[in-house]
Every structure is written in C-alpha cells, then in structure tokens.
Chains A and B, each alone.
Chain A
C-alpha cells in the first residue's frame, strides 16, 4: 500500500508531537511507579492552598459563608481538579460548621459537585449539616452566572471566595465584587489571559500548573507527588531541547551553506549562509505541519 504521502493527523501534528507525548507519558508513569516504592518525594509550599484553613477559619469567626466557583468549564479534567480542591475546602467547612455556597455554571459539574459535597459531610460524620441548596446550578449563560455570583457575594457578604477552573470575561466581575465585601480570595484559572485579572484582584493566585498540583499537595499521597516529578522531568526535557535548539539554530544560521544544497541548486548566487527554510529546526517544524 502506498503510504508515501503520509496520514493526515501525523502530517498535521507531526511525529514529533506523538514522540514528545510518549516520552512525557513514560516520565509520568515511571515516577508514579518509583513513588510507590519510595515516599521520599517532597513538594514546595503553595501559598494559595495553605490559606484554605485560614480563610475558612475567618468565615467561621464572622459567621459568613465561603463561596466556591468552578468557572464556566464543562465536566472535564479542569472541573474535576477544581472540585477536588473544593472537596478539601468543604471538609474544613464541615469541621468548623461554616456555611458554603458552591455555584455552578454547567449542569454536569453541578450534579457531580452535589454528590461530592454530600459525601464530604457524610465522611466527616455531620450529614445533617449538609444543605442541598448550598450547591446550586445557577445559569448556563456567562453574564447571568456572573451576576448571580456577584449577587450572592453581596447579599450574603461572603467571607472567602475560591474561584478555580476556567474563567473568561466574568472573572473580574466576580473578583472585584468579592473585593468590595472584603472577602479573602484565592483563585486559579487555566485561561492565561485571565490570570493577570486575578493577580490584580485576588489575595492568592495559583499560577499555571500549581492548579493541577493541588490534589497532590492537599493529599500528600506519594503516588500523586510522583506524577508531579514526572511533569518536572518533562519540563526539564523541554528546557534542554530549547537550549540545544537555540545553540544549533544559531551555529547553523551563522555557518556556511552546505555542499548538498549547492548541488541541489537551492542556493542563489552570492548567498553565504543557509536560507531560513534550510535551518534544521525550521525544516522539522514545517515538515510536521505541511
């Protein structure tokens, strides 16, 4: 069979992508397996997650609720991570008897969140404290959701807000309203365009992959910490690749034209250095996208 021209997704994404994903996968799985044998993995301090107990404690002292928002995302890895953090917050709230408000945008996230919070109260031995109305589906329209959250913040004078997940233009509306009532704010978003707004308006912000490290950080399970080490290895691989690529690219760009290119007739008269398309890292990038 003639497969000389290649298959669409390998032409689109390139073999480099599949190769990179495979290496990252090996790093993560290897470190998860390694962590099962040895529990010597540690994790650095994440200020935003350390503030959970303090924020819930303050809400208890002032008898005001803690508000949680998983953002506008559907039920995916981001929402699951947000709900895992919220479970930890709800656990603290259940211990102190602090009221909570978990306001949802997506119906599927709402369904899972309701069951999850109920389980938390059950596992803490205070199922009677769980108020089914504390976990609410609000609206699946962006600004209707934002106005509902802002309304709850003002009416109930929340003491702390935790906004974690996918946020878009509504992020600042919610964060600024919480600021008006003097709430402690911890935020994390996977949308990098919204991160500056949270940095400007909130007390603590989880940056980038700190958000995904939360379950490992809060649970301190060796296996989860191992997966973080795997991610760190992948990051180091990228950094190493970057350094090698910059040096290689620079040396090649400053060097002379190759005799092969001259033989092929790809070199114009008077050309001293290789053209952009002949540089290795430009060549492989184009190869994978053509």
Chain B
C-alpha cells in the first residue's frame, strides 16, 4: 500500500486542496469586509478532506457538518453554488435555505448535512442501514470532529454500526478544537480512536496533514468495509488553523502550538513534493484563483429566493 501515487492523482489532490484553501480564504475575507455572513472554515484540514474523498467511489455517500466546504469541494461541488448558499441565493445547492452551515448536495452524494454537532453520526447509522438493507455496495463516509466524539451520539452510532454491521467509514477529523475549547480540556487522551476501538471495530489514526497518508488509510478502510460490510474508524490528526467561525481573533489559541502546526501545513508539505515544479504550482494556483473569483461573482449576481419560497419545501 505504500507505492507512490500517480503524479496525476497527486496533482489533482493538490489542486483540490488549493481550491478549498482559496474558497475558505475568500469566504473569510468577504465576511471581514462585510459582504458575507460568517462561516466555519476548514483551513488547515484540506488534506483530511481531500485524501478521504479521493478514496471514495461514485456510489459512496458522505455526511458532513458545519465545517463542510472541504468535503463538498473535494467531491466536485461548484464553488459558485456554495457561495450562493453562503449569500442566501436561490442558485445555491439548497436554494439559499441552508446558508454556509448545513449544505447538502444530494447530486454529489453529500446527504443530510447537519450543524448540530454529533447529528451526522446519528444520521449516518440510518444511511448505512439503508445501504445495507438495499444491498447496495455504497460506503457511507461520516465526517465529524473530536468535539462530536464527546457527544453521546458518537457512542450510540458506533455501537449500532458495530452490532448491525453497517458499511460506515467513520472519519474523525481531530482538529484539536471544540469550538472555543481545546480538546485536551475535554478528553482524557489524545486520540479519539481509543474510544472507537472499544466499540470493537478496526481503527487507524493517521497524520491528517499528509494527504497521501490520509488517502492510503482511507483506501484501506474502504477496502475493509467493502470486503466485510462492517464499519471502520479513521482518525485524521490535524489542526484547525483559523477560529471556530469568522470572525474569531483566536486570542484563546496557544501561539506556539499554532506556529508548530502552521509549519506542518498540509498544502505547503504537498507543494514541497519534488514532483511539482514551481511553474506547475503557479499554474494551478492561478487557475484556482480565477475559478474562485468567477464563482464569487456568479454568486453575487444570482437572485435571492422569492417570498413564495419562504413556505416551500416544508412537507413532501
């Protein structure tokens, strides 16, 4: 499993990570300049999202949370439709009914996004149950953080998935922060996988800032799920570089810790990979920047929902 990835695959991962970074930084800048509401960015966690999503197949499903842009963009979401959602425009994936916090895109297999921390774990059990009942080959990837792991739904979900043998890839993005509280204040150990192992499923903790390592670990977990139909737990050990939401001055963050993690930035690390020339990286960065600017402009120009939309889509 340790063979080098194809250059083309790595290049695609780099571009995906750069797109996520540029998307989030633009969103934060637009908040700072008063042109958009606040968002919860995933800056610093791009490798964790891209590595896992790259290992998923077309029929696999994703559940995510309030820090979802990375998962959506890695899955191929149109940044213009994501920005439209941030701005409450009718062209968003959720017709402007979500805002930035709970974007689902069923057409991409990103379902039931909830911002209630821990809900994704509860709902993933049902999505996995349906896949199992319908004898589909789908793996259900459920992204959540170390904060959600402290919710009761974490244990309820892992227990049910283990007992009912549900095809769920639990992906804990351990980003060290639970809103404004450091993980070390809320958990007795450093790794969430310790808890997961107690539920009787195979677990792995991987350097979440190394996209190749994340990809390989996810592929291994997915292979296990496809072979057995049973759940697998993958922890991507990473760091939330920005605040809980925008704006957040991060006055509560230990500067030395932040600096140490910035030195391990997942995008810098991948760019240092000798496979990429400076020109190549600049070309990708330029393409990404143009795409983000165009996406923002498209979203700004898009229409708002009409008053008639206020009462639409409550009941089926």
> Are A and B subunits of one complex?
no
